[in-house]
Structure formats: structure tokens, C-alpha cells
A and B are shown apart, each in its own frame.
Chain A
Amino acid sequence: MLEVIQDNWDLLRHGFVGTLKLTVVCGIVSLLLGTLIAACRVSPVPPLRWFGTAYVNLFRNTPLTLIFFAVALGFPKLRFNLSYFEFAVIALSTYTAAFICEAIRSGINTVPIGQAEAARSLGMSFTQSLSQIVLPQAGRAAVPPIGSLLIAMVRNSAIASAFNVTELMGTSAEMVENGYKSLWVLLWIAVGYLIITLSMSAALAALEKKLAVVR
């Protein structure tokens, strides 16, 4: 069982780094996109709100495999030629962004309207009330769900292996072809994912503890 790691150390490391790269890039892109769509969803402008709602409803109800399928196999047919890594980033980020948007929106919804009213009646300007009263509270409420979404995104990134992206799960095919027992290959790959997801959970728990306030 150990020779799987010893013999394929470079391949596994390559895959592990690929997954980390995918995680970081998709994490950033989906956070930005999710925030943008959340801003649309809660904005006072009706067309933007409709767009946000439609986006969230569409992408939350689409299987991620289907998005990967449409992006990685469909885009080249529409003459959008990008690398497979970029396709994976598009697929994973558009999907995750829909969930992040909802996490941010429900975070904002946890702030009672009285908070904003009180801030305004204390003479705070609109920007002050938003940046010092509303968003800090909303952000605190949104951090735990966003954290679990990002962890789920790492697990979902395994799907990219089926669409020619160099990442952890994708290394399994090569090792199995080279005659290594699939049991040990997949167990070690699972360990690789567990390292990423469990350390993210630990970081999230620490962050939550830091943000917690005694009420």
C-alpha cells in the first residue's frame, strides 16, 4: 500500500498542487461572482434583482456534472477555445457562486432593519451605516455557510478530473493503468482530499471562534 505513494510521489504531488490551484482560483472567482450576484439580488433596481434571482434558481438546480459537460465539451463547439483548466474554473465558479450569493443574502437578512434605522437616527451617513453596522453583522453571519460551501467546492472539484484537468482525482486513472491496486490508489487520493478539507474546516472553526461575539 505504501509503494503507491513511493512510486508515484511526483504524480500525486502534481495532482495535489493542481487541486490546490483549482481551489484557490475557483474560490476567489466564485466569491467575487457570488458577491456581485448577491449585490444584484438585494439591489433596489428591479431588473438586476430579477437577474440575480434567475441566476441563482437556474444554477442551484443544475447538476454540476452537466455544467462541466456543457462548458468543457460544448464551448469548443461554439468556438470558445480555452484551456481545460479555464473551463473547469468557469464551470465550478459559476455553480459555486449561486450558493455563495444565497449565503451572503441570508447573512444580510439576519440583520434586523432596526439596526439600520438606529444607525440612521444616530446621524450616521448611509456609507457609515452600511460599512460599520450592516455589513460587519451580515458578514459574521455569512462566514460559516461560505466556509462550508468552499469545502464542498473542493470536493466538487474532483469532477474536473473527468474533463482533462490535472488534479488529484485525475491522477488515479494513470496509476490504475500502471497496475497499482485501485483500492490503495483511491484511498490515498481520499487522504489527499481529506488533508485539504479538514484543514479548511479547522481554519474555518478558528475564524468562527475569532468572529464570535458574546450577545
Chain B
Amino acid sequence: MSREASVLFDVPGPKARRRNLIIGVVGSLGLAAFLVFVIVRFNDTGQFESAKWDPFQYSGVQQFIFDGLKATLKAFALAAVFSILLGAFLAAGRLSDHRIVRWASTTFVTFFRAMPLLVLIFMLYLVPGSQGWWKWDPMWPLVVGLTIYNGTVQAENIRAGILAVPKGQSEAAYALGMRKTQVMTMILVPQGIRTMLPTIISQIVVTLKDTSLGFLITYPELLAAAKLIGGYQDYNMPFIPVTIIVGTIYVAMCMILSAFATWLERRLRTSRKGKPPAVVPPTQAELSRDNVAIV
């Protein structure tokens, strides 16, 4: 790309290429220096000592991390599915013909999008218990909170996808005598899903990231497992090693999902303008048939 022009710079000539090379070398050296500084600091504070890394060979510790991962994935799967369902429901409400339904869903969406997710989760965690309404496992406040917040965002994604379908499509469907439900399920959703799918998956990545908030309400997920292992005296308090391990797991999971979203976006974008259907020119016999009206 350095050989191409962009809006920001022209194609570099010999002088600019030399300058870019110098900037590149200096920048790389700066980054390398930073990296060396970090590694030296890690080494000085004894983060590379084998005593701090040994515990991760114990099957008990591995099992503990694995259980945390399972708890994270469980909350994530529930929240992802429920949030898309809620999103579809709210999007349908926002696109409704009835003013009251539209108004109610818009208020719901606006309110819960403006509120911090953490406040919502703490409300669901603390309030039912303190008011004596009901008791529930800390997983449910997390799942319900994630569902409500991400559901409102997914609703906007779904709505945007449906509104992106050209108006002629729904007009044509209505002209054919379809009902509103038919237009929605047979015309608008199948076409809109192309536009909305990448953003829906990107939001699912956000849902996955936000499951880590469960750590703050004592849900025993991955980060909570990390904190427990990291503070264990018998294992030399391997806080930094466990953070590196758990961080890698989180980043890997999110990156795979993000890469899937990017791949899907590219694929759906290119296939939109697929090859046009092959047109077979009519034969002379067909043209000269009597029943062909030549206008």
C-alpha cells in the first residue's frame, strides 16, 4: 500500500520513500524498546519464575479455568440467543403500525440503551433479594441484564437491516396482495438479513465481552476464576500469569467471532452483485411464432 496514493498522501517518490523508511525504523525501534522495557520489568518482578507458572500444569487448576470458561460460555450462549429474540421482538414493535406499540418499544430501547449495563445488572442482582421478591443464582441477573441491553442494540440492528431493503420491494409485495406479516417474513427479513447479519454478529462479540461483568456480581466465570487462582498463596500468587492465560482465552474467542463477522460481511457484500442470470437470446422460430406480440 505504501506504493499507492490515498486521500492522505501521494505516491511516495524517492525522497519520501527514504523518509518513510527512517520513520519506520525509528518507530519499530521505539516499539521494540517499549517491549524490552516491559519484559525487563516482568523479569525483575519475577513473573517468569517457574514457581509462578507451575500451577497451570495441575489438573485441578486447569479444571478450575475450564469451569470458569464453561460458565462464561453458558451465560454468553443464553444471553446471545435471548438478546436476538428480544431484538426481533422490539424491532417488530418499532416497525409496528400501532402508535402505542411503537411508542412503547421506542421508550424501552432508548431507556435501556442510555443506562450503564453495570447499573442494570446490579439492579437485577440486588433488588429482588433486598425487596424480598425472589432469589436467584447470580447467573440470571447477568443473563437478563445482557439480554435487555444487547436486545435493544440488536433491535436497532434488525430495524436498520429491514429499513435498508428498497421500498419498492415491500410496495410490490403489498400490491400482490400480501399481508403485513407475509411482507415481513417472506420479503423484508430474508433480504434484510444480509445487511443485518454482520452487525448482529459484531454485537454478539460485545455480548461475549460483557459476560465478564459477571465477575463483579460474584458469578464464577473466567475472570473470577483468574482472580481466585491469582491470589492463591500456595501457588506463589501467579496473578500476572493467570491474567495472561485468561486474557488470551478471551481475546482468542472474541477475535474468532469478529473474524467470522468480517468474513461474512465481505462474502455477503460480494454476492449481492452476483453474476447476472444468463440470458438466452430467443431463436428465430420463437420470434416468428404467431402468439408472440411484437410491440
Residues of chain B within 8 A (CB-CB) of A116 are 5-8
Residues of chain B within 8 A (CB-CB) of A78 are 41-42, 45, 47, 240
Q: Give the 10 A-B residue pairs with the shortest CB-CB distance, closest first.
A: A61-B254, A65-B212, A63-B212, A63-B209, A182-B126, A155-B116, A158-B116, A158-B118, A116-B7, A45-B24
Q: How big is chain A's contact interface, by range?
A: 35 or more
Give which listed residue, A64, A79, A194, contacts B115 with CB less than 8 A.
A194
Known: A115-B7, A186-B122. A169 touches B116 (CB 8 A): yes
Known: A63-B210, A155-B117, A156-B116. A111 touches B2 (CB 8 A): no
Known: A61-B254, A190-B116. 14 other contacts (CB 8 A): A44-B12, A57-B255, A61-B258, A63-B212, A63-B223, A63-B254, A65-B215, A73-B243, A74-B243, A79-B41, A126-B10, A138-B7, A182-B126, A182-B130
B227 within 8 A of A: yes
Binding site for A on B (CB under 8 A): 1-2, 5-10, 12, 16, 20, 23-25, 27-28, 31, 41-42, 44-45, 47, 114-120, 122-123, 126-127, 130-131, 205, 208-213, 215-216, 223, 226-227, 230, 239-240, 243, 246-247, 250-251, 254-255, 258
Residues of chain A within 8 A (CB-CB) of B119 are 158, 169, 186, 189-190, 193
Residues of chain B within 8 A (CB-CB) of A66 are 212, 223, 243, 246-247, 250
For the complex formed, measure the closest distance between the CB of A77 and the CB atoms of chain B, giving whole angstroms. Answer: 5
Residues of chain A within 8 A (CB-CB) of B213 are 65, 159
Flag if A159 contacts B8 (CB, 8 Å). no
A176 within 8 A of B: yes
- Cα distance, A159 to B209, chains bound together (Å): 13
For the complex formed, measure the closest distance between the CB of B65 and the CB atoms of chain A, giving whole angstroms. Answer: 14
Residues of chain A within 8 A (CB-CB) of B126 are 176, 182, 186
A122 within 8 A of B: no
Flag if B130 contacts A113 (CB, 8 Å). no
Most chain A C-beta atoms within 10 Å of own C-beta, residue among B5, B45, B122, B130: B122
A47 within 8 A of B: yes
Residues of chain B within 8 A (CB-CB) of A47 are 24-25, 27-28, 31
Residues of chain A within 8 A (CB-CB) of B6 are 42, 44, 113, 116
Interface residues of A in 87-139 (CB under 8 A from B): 108, 111-113, 115-116, 120, 126, 130, 134, 138
Nearest to A48 among chain B residues (CB) is: B27
- Cα distance, A187 to B120, chains bound together (Å): 9
10 contacts across the A-B interface (CB closer than 8 A): A46-B2, A48-B23, A51-B27, A62-B209, A66-B246, A73-B230, A108-B7, A155-B116, A181-B131, A190-B115
Residues of chain A within 8 A (CB-CB) of B12 are 44
Nearest to A111 among chain B residues (CB) is: B7
A49 within 8 A of B: yes
Interface residues of A in 43-61 (CB under 8 A from B): 43-49, 51, 57-58, 60-61
Nearest to B230 among chain A residues (CB) is: A73
